[in-house]
Structure 1
Amino acid sequence: MVGLKDAALEGEDVYWLEGRPGEGGRTVIVHRSPEGQTRDVNPQPFNARTRVHEYGGGDFVVHNGTVYFSNFADQRLYSAHPGGVPEPLTAEIDHRYADMTVDAARNRLIAVREDHTDPGEPVNELVGISLEDGAETVLATGQDFCSSPRLSPDGRSLAWLTWNHPNMPWDGTELWVAGLDESGRPAAPERVAGGPDESVFQPEWSPDGTLHFVSDRTGWWNLYRSERGFVEPLCPMEAEFGLPQWQFGMSTYGFLSPTRIACAPIERGVFRLGLLNTQTGELAQIETPYSVIGHLRTNGGSGEILFVAGSPTEPPAIVRLDARTGDSEVLHRAGDLGIDSGYLSAPETVEFPTENGLTAHGFFYPPKNRDFAAPEGELPPLLVLSHGGPTGMTLPSLDLEIQHRTSRGFAVLDVNYGGSTGYGREYRRRLDGMWGVVDVDDCAGGAKYLAEKGLVDGDRLLIAGGSAGGYTTLCALAFRDAFAAGASHYGVSDAAALAEETHKFESRYLDGLIGPYPERADLYRERSPIHHTDGLSCPVIFFQGLEDEVVPPNQAITMFEALKAKGLPVAYLPFEGEQHGFRRAENIKRALDAELYFYSRVFGFDLADDVEPVRIENLDTK
């Protein structure tokens, strides 16, 4: 199954990104003609993926049938036509580009550039890039980060976002607007919204030239417009019209006309599709079978809405919907699985008590396999999943890794712990200064809740997670006694090492999650599982990409060696060529099989599948 990552509309032509595990994780831009024919825009070996902020996004833009994209291998920008050979636009220099928009009047791209030519921290700027010769002109500089350059319909004004250390974009950003002078440079920029305690997301111009944006100034990411120096809300409500800006090019709304907006707000962790009348503030919901809606794009002239959609029972899909009739069409699915619903576990929304009298959220998947049933009276083991980020969210859509587990007798609780998106700024800020505490409490609280409800076996509680979720997993195993085993996928074990070694985008992230470093080195040590292996008394398996620059491999290796020396059952699986998250089909499968094999060996049950064994240290001494 491929990954669907982005989408674009130009007239009746549709474009999207596919991450193809079967091609070593290569990202391909696919073009779909008005007649329904598809073909790749970037042939082998081109890989449409930028490394700005390491997480990328905003990898391509389309204008008049020409696609401009960032190539992963050299990070240069290329121009291409479907079926043609890409041609380089930018020079061979240590620059990276993302979030491009086309300035047709000046025959240039406007893009975020990350300059790595000098030692030390890279420089992030907005630049203009000539479409004739690739010459670059700096348009905005002086801030630590920038994103979302958006050109007004008449080409006379530019809007963009900035933020500075130690803020992350979901903490506080600033929205700037400037007119463009005769040379195409911004003149007299003006801050329209935002600040250190207000997160602004996705500025967009309406067809009549009115600037719109999303802000969480009330505690919820809601839609606003700025007109003649006044900012006004369009539809105040306790819902999230924005997302944490981990990647460039994210979009939750688009214009169908100057007064009609298609949007995808999140309520209680679930996306809805709606039409907002900006004159009346009325939000009308469009009924769809989808619980996840991303990369929403519009074609105002036709009333078309394009988005990447997910549901609990179908693979992700590129969907086109006619806002006038409500009719929708699936243009492309991530895969044709043909899985009988008798093997699929549907997520159940759960709320459960956690520490300090608060409530946390998640999705519970009971085990399901139409061909098998548990012995009478036997409760299933529970695998608690802690998502990455940690400023992120888990989504109620078809996840084959979850289904792999539930079809084999496991119950799964996918936790949106305090700090997650989708429940307002106050919920998101529960993790401020409390990473490794609140998230752990919520994961342990969810497991306890389900065990007390008699839904799972309280003696067979497991926890797993990737990246920040791996950190939560290791903290839960080191600082709590709720779980009997765990799996860390490229997870953090030494918070101080992460603060010292990670890339620019996240280099001050932990200031807010734990505290300033090195001033609070004591707190980092207190919250780092690597320094508290004495609290670990259960089996753990580690998975790690050897080219990971977000969480370097030495963290997993150090933790593995410490547990091995302690005599605990432990395994470590490194993957050549993988970065932060696995993209190659064979590695994704290997990690999934290996985790299940690990659980089977440490808990003594037989697997129905023939799985390649994993070397487990100290297993015989358990």
Structure 2
Amino acid sequence: MTEPTCKQAAPSGTWTSPISAAVVAAGAVPLSHIALDGADVLWLAGRASEAGRTTLQRLRAGALSELTPAPFNVRNRVHEYGGGAYAVDGGTVWFSHFADNHLYRVEDGGEPVMLTREEAVRYADFVPDRARARLVAVREDHLAGAAYPVNTICAVGFDGSETILVDGNDFYAAPRISPDGRQLAWLCWDHPRMPWQGTELWVADLQPDGSLVDGRLVAGGMTESICQPEWSPDGLLHFVSDRSGWWNLYRFEGGVVHPLCPRDAEFGGPHWSFGASMYGFRSAEEIICTYIEDGISRLGRLSTRGCSLTPIETPYQEIRELRVSSERVAVLAGAPTIALELALIDPGNGERSVLVRSIAHLPAEAYLSVPRSIRYPSAHGRSAYAFYYPPANADFTLPEGELPPLIVISHGGPTSMATSTLKLATQFWTSRGFAVLDVNYGGSAGFGRLYRDLLEGQWGVIDVEDCVAGARYLAEQGLVDPERLLIRGGSAGGLTTLCALTFHDVFKAGASYYGVSDLAGLDADSHKFESHYNEYLIAPKAQAQAVYRERSPIHHTDALKRPMIFFQGLDDKVVPPQQSETMVDALRARGVPVAYLALEGEGHGFRKAESVVRTLEAELAFYLRVFGIALPEGLPPLEIENLAA
């Protein structure tokens, strides 16, 4: 047995690490949308080497096959965020091809065959209706002549014919056919609501000819968010609702809605994309589900009649998605030392087998920082949540008496959620001697409706207060250096970063990745799904102009006095380069240290490996120079204007 070596004491930022920028850039294989089809397991996998193409994989009797060879790209852009891009039944697969929006059919062992013909129409969340030789799907019509696309629920015949089944609402999701084929359930909502604010669950009878009659509202409304309707094997409709203040499970039976497991936990999540699944039926009497408590996912067995929830032990702290059959549970899950992976779990004895990992080769655990979920005081007596990562490296430790600098991360969304699944981009920093705080500020999902609604009218305020409070809290606990507090974020998180540095005097420097600095510009470029989102996040249109100006850092550059580095894709259509460049020009003119990296061929989010390497190394060099630390050998130099040598 090898004896452990003594660690070398060295300042933060100078530690060498096997988690290089190139390792981060190599990234993880994106895994999503798992399905069980008899004994087969299917999932989507991203191919970075093929320009990010998404392909459908199938594992059958231990043999792995690709069902959608190049150039097929299994993806859609319904609501722009897509999801629910394929369905499978009895070995037959239907999928959406991103390049032309058409639906294709793949029979077992055959080649994809085009089913639809109109490229201006997109489809998502489709389910087979074998009895009527068709798919039922969410349809988004982008034909010319309308300011926004028209959304409906339609039937697509196996011969390519189409029939509109439900229309009249702004948005639809989750059409689900009962086991006997006699009923259809679906979700809908209208502007100005987002689906996590208020949705409606409807049911109608399916006639033998496929038409719908007797549509009736089951649950939901202006202030109740419904997600994931599913039929049990014995034909009872189940769904997740936040009517109690938490996304909990319910059953609709005899015209009455029955709670299954009242609990201060989240059994659902915000609908950003189609096809999410957080529970499924092992039998008519048993549900296997995942639920979130204090930012941590758990797996459980729920009796549909006794309403008892029994935990199933797993090593995971995030369960992103699951699918259930009578014999097994498939999960996409991860933990602080486990990158996202696809695994099968035996619900009877809890045995687990990993089918595929998003990262094949991980650094040794001694180089990985294991976070802890913390709750801390924030402004006006509120509490906020975050994951705190201490520095960690098998070979290095801080000199006696030195506290690490802290990097606060503000996630995008902003109705999203930071999780603790292993991310190499975070470990890049912690393995070099930085502490990291990944903040679930007020407005984040995973902590109940009241917490989610804290951001109503308060984007650019609540999120910023919680990031500031988190940094102060860790400094007061003696865990980080109060003189070396940093903040970074991208897109919506970039706005949080810029506001924190502009309107507060806590952070010493920051990094903005294609960050929003002018809120008014977002409305001009918004698509249908988010076209009213800012009315909820910031202000109704009547008051918007004044509030936008008050909260937009671009109008308060005189208050921004901390060193900053900006990263901007020159092809970004969401946050145009002008927003970053105006901020850079203002800091440059006022003598504030500033660096700017403009990247050709990059849009909103950087995809090229060389871009990821360049920006990470530049950000590290920026922090080290701001703190007066010599750059390690091999780190490229960085030009920082207005910074004394």
* TM-score w.r.t. length of structure 2: 0.92
1: CA distance, partners of 2:302 / 2:248: 12
1:265 is matched with 291
CA deviations 1:277-306 (Å, max 9, x no partner) are: 011100000010000102211113xx2111
Of 352, 369, 383, the match for 2:376: 352
Counterparts of 1:118-267 in structure 2 under 5 Å? 118=144, 119-132=146-159, 134-267=160-293
| Cα offset, 1:249, TM superposition | 0.6
Task: Give secondary structure in 2 for the equivalent of 1:456.
Answer: coil
Residue 508 of structure 1: which of 532, 536, 541 is its match?
A: 532
Q: 98, 104, 114: which is aligned to 2:140? A: 114
SS in structure 2 of the partner of residue 427 of structure 1? helix
Matched residue SS, 1:378: coil
Equivalence for 1:13: 40
The verdict on how the C-alpha distance between 1:275 and 1:85 changes in structure 2, with shifts beyond 3 A counting, is same
Matched, 1:58 2:84: yes
Q: Deviations over 1:134-173 (max 9, x none)?
A: 2221111111111111111111111111111111110000
Letter in 2 for 1:372: F
Cα distance per residue 1:412-461 (max 9 Å; x no partner): 00111111111111111111111111110000000001111111111111
Give, in whole Å, the separation in 1 of the partners of 2:571 and 2:214.
43
Structure-1 residue corresponding to 2:492 = 468
d(CA) in 2 for partners of 1:340, 1:247: 34
Residue 595 of structure 1 pairs with residue 619 of structure 2: yes
**Would the aligned equivalents of 1:41 and 1:81 in 2 still touch at CA under 8 Å?**
no
CA contact (8 A) 1:360 1:416 kept: yes
Distance 1:166 1:562, change over 3 A: farther
1:101 aligns with 2:127: yes
Task: After superposition, give the CA deviation of every residue in 1:342-384 in whole Å (9 maximum; x if it has no partner).
Answer: 1000001211111111111111000111111222211111000
2:509 paired with 1:485: yes
Q: Which residue of 1 aligns with 2:325?
A: 299
Match of 1:80 among 106, 109, 123: 106
Question: Any unmatched runs of 5+ in structure 1?
Answer: none
Which residue number in structure 1 is paired with residue 350 of structure 2? 326
3-state SS in 2 of match to 1:316: strand
Separation in 1 of the partners of 2:246 and 2:516? 30
Question: Secondary structure of 2:414's partner?
Answer: coil
Code of the aligned partner of 1:28: T
Match of 1:528 in 2: 552
- Pair 539,79 (structure 1): closer, same or farther in 2 beyond 3 Å: farther
Q: Secondary structure at the match of 2:71?
A: coil
Root mean square deviation of aligned Cα: 1.9
Q: Which runs of 5+ in 2 are unaligned?
A: 1-27
Find the counterpart in structure 2 of residue 283 from structure 1.
309
Distance (Å, rounded) in 2 between the aligned partners of 1:90 and 1:145:
22
Q: Is the aligned partner of 1:582 residue 2:606?
A: yes
Change (3 A) 1:612 1:44: farther
Measured after TM superposition, the shift of residue 49 of structure 1 is: 1.5
Aligned to 1:27: 54
> Counterpart of 2:543 in 1: which secondary structure?
coil
| Residue 419 of structure 2: aligned partner | 395
1:61-105 CA-partner distances (Å, limit 9, x unpaired): 112222222222222222235775433222142122211111111
* SS of residue matched to 1:265: strand
The structure whose RCO (Cα within 8 Å, separation 6+) is larger is: 2
Distance of aligned partners of 1:576 and 1:179 in 2 relative to their CA distance in 1, 3 Å threshold: farther
Letter in 1 for 2:375: E
Q: Which residue of 1 aligns with 2:11?
A: none
**Secondary structure of 1:436's partner?**
coil
Provide the C-alpha distance between the structure 2 equivalents of 1:575 and 1:182, rounded to a whole number of angstroms: 57
Structure 1 counterpart SS, 2:356: strand
Counterpart residue type for residue 228 of structure 2: Q
For the residues of structure 2 that align with 1:48 and 1:577, how far apart are their CA atoms?
24
Question: Residue 471 of structure 1: SS of its match in structure 2?
Answer: helix
Moved more, 460-469 or 438-447: 460-469
Task: Look up the match of 1:91.
Answer: 117
2:55 maps to a residue whose letter is V
Q: What amino acid is the match of 1:230?
A: V
State TM-score, norm by structure 1: 0.95
1:499–1:517: 8 Å Cα contact kept in structure 2?
A: no
Query: Residues 39 and 83 of structure 1 are in contact (CA less than 8 Å); yes or no, is this contact kept in structure 2?
Result: no
1:453 equivalenced with 2:480 (yes/no) = no
Aligned to 2:397: 373
Give the residue type in structure 1 aligned to 2:399.
P
Contact 2:132 2:209 survives alignment (8 Å):
no
Cα distance change on mapping 1:524 and 1:338 into 2, 3 Å: closer
Amino acid at match of 2:611: N
Query: What is the match of residue 446 of structure 2?
Result: 422
Whole-angstrom distance in 1 between the partners of 2:110 and 2:311: 41
The change in CA–CA distance for 1:609 and 1:285 in structure 2 (over 3 A counts) is farther
Q: Which string of whole-angstrom CA distances, capped at 9 and with x for unpartnered residues, describes residues 462-496 of structure 1?
A: 11112221111111111111111112223221111
**Shift in Å, 1:315:** 1.5
The one-character-per-residue Cα deviations of 1:514-542 (angstroms, maximum 9, x if unpaired) are: 11125331011111111111111122223
Distance 1:556 1:110 in 2: 44
